A and B are shown apart, each in its own frame.
Chain A
Amino acid sequence: MQRFLIRVALLGLVAVAAGLWITRPKADGAEVLAGLTADAGRGEMVFTAAGCASCHMAPEAEGEARLVLAGGQSFPSPFGSFTAPNISPDPAEGIGDWSALELWNALHHGTSPDGQHYYPAFPYASYIRMEPQAVVDLHAYLQTLPADATPSAPHAVPFPFNIRASLGGWKMLFLRPGWVMAGDLTAEEARGRVLAEAMGHCAECHSPRNALGGTKTGADWLTGAPNPAGRGSFPNLTPPALDWSQDELVEYFTSGFTPEYDVVGGHMAHVVENLAQLPESDRAAIAAYLKRLPLDG
């Protein structure tokens, strides 16, 4: 009997070890970015489209201060409250000493330079769809921003969600590198898909999630969701619920005015500030993408 129990315990250990091995933080080697030349100017567009500053600037920063990525904003959720870290170029408190490859692995695999899983409050489930060139350009641009020595604040995440190893399982279940909207797309719709599904990470707020916090796709994609911070909800972006014309969407992304002349608020106000800085063709592309929704189940 005792021998049997020891065997069961050993088997259990092997299973846990195998599970940890299978779900260990993944990272790519240098070959993934080989031969790419960085362009900080293009990187600024990536930065704006990806909305990095909206979460990583200090709380309530306005104007130029939005480019000081000192972190500190908190993002409450059913799993705990996450605090955006310092991603300014400060080498000690920020990410100034990161290589482009380390940034790639953070954005693409949710893996930190020291091989830890990041929490998916950092929207790598969307950024996984970013092209290597975009990441290299973004890396160059981030280096041009002001350094700030504010230490990153810890997350307030209770047991069991504070066990980062479990995020490997989450990634196995929900991290998908492919496009959600498949099929034949026009060039404009395809550009909109890059902006909406990869950089702009619309689904992080506007798609409902399952019990484990994975974003639902298919017919549920971008159909709206409750606010994880507790109050209100994020609207359904799929026609016919979304009955704004492409022009009306572009106007909203530019000035924040809705067709009824309400004005954008909440976190979406940050998104509109970003979208307004993109070329009008990009705003039209996002609108064209949305007009192709909903997806088939």
Chain B
Amino acid sequence: MATAQDSYLNLVSHPVAREIAGRFGLPRPAVLRRYRPGEPLLPGPVLVLGGSGADALAGPLPDLGLQIRRQAAHGERLGAIVAVLDEVAGPADLAASALAVGAALRELAPGGRIVTVSRQACETLPPAAAAARQGVEGLLRSLARELRGGATGNGILLGDGVDVDAPGVTGALRFLLSARSAYVDGQFLLVGSTDGQPAAEPERPLAGHTAVVTGAARGIGAAIAEVLRRDGADVVVVDVPAAGEQLAAVANRIGGTALQLDITRPDAGARIIEQAGRHGRIDIVVHNAGITRDKLLANMDAERWDAVLEVNLAAPLRLNEALLASNLLGPAPRIVCLASTSGIAGNRGQTNYAASKAGIIGMVRSSAPLLAARGGTINAVAPGFIETEMTARMPAAARQVARRLLPSLQQGGLPRDVAEAVAFLSGGAAAGINGQTLRVCGQSLVGA
């Protein structure tokens, strides 16, 4: 659905061009494995490495339709390698698992997955344990950069009191193994609670849920609306009245309802609650609406600064307040906010935008306990370079650098890659993930 296109990627997908690109040392980005309902979770069996934690982790996996291998068999293409490192207590504990993964890497199929499962390093730990746990992150992030063929590496961090067989861990693992996480690379998901449950209908995990998506007339917002609908949600798409024609087209394409609304209006929360509330309750809210008004800070004016902060940060803050104050939030509400890698690593000319997006990350972290008290979660998704109408307007050279050189996947993401992450965080399987910011950036250098 995205009108923006990566023609280089299309070109080098052709065998001859691919050969030429290889001879000249040009990047040879892979066509990423992307989710289609009904397809197997992985292109091959999953090798689960580790001790007793690995056994516990592997327990529910056959239910996901996966074949489990506890040891690599030579010559068998693996769909994924999961390294369970939940018991590392000192630096020496890393070697065995790290090298075992390394030995099996050759067998990893294109589009394969590496997932580490380890415990979160926190201040209360003995230094050696904290060092080992933190070490896993460096190991995984570097390993992810060594992967080719559209394979990705990500990690799951277990919070205090969360075991490897917690539903949230299974849910996160399923997401990371699946094609839904195609452009998520080098990232860690923290499962902080034992909440969550597998979806009754795995193909329609959001069935019966009502979702609101702001900024849904085009680009990432429209993709989010489509994916939420594909996953079963009733979707209310919101955008400014001026984008109403495209918004209506999105609503009619996905079978949702359109709400033309400037979210900076004082009564925006009330209007959203009124329209979405018709369905009885609001289960999912995706704060996607955002604008850019780029200028070097030296040239920045109040109008540009205020507009960006108002739309990107102040409006979501007000909407959340209104939602939390209403009695129409569902029993397990999910709020997902769109942050940005600019908000993490900064970006020249985007002081206002980066401030607003970093603000989102702070808002999410601080709002997490409020949502938890209501049985819900709030998280952010931080996209990197995504092929949209907005990025299509970037200068060509900057666009190629952003696509090719920065992400280890050597390509920009698609709006639906962001949407898949949003949909995952909106579902019951992600109940244990709260207050987090998940980057969907193809492991861009930006922000490490």
A pairs with B: no
A residues engaging B (CB < 8 A)?
none
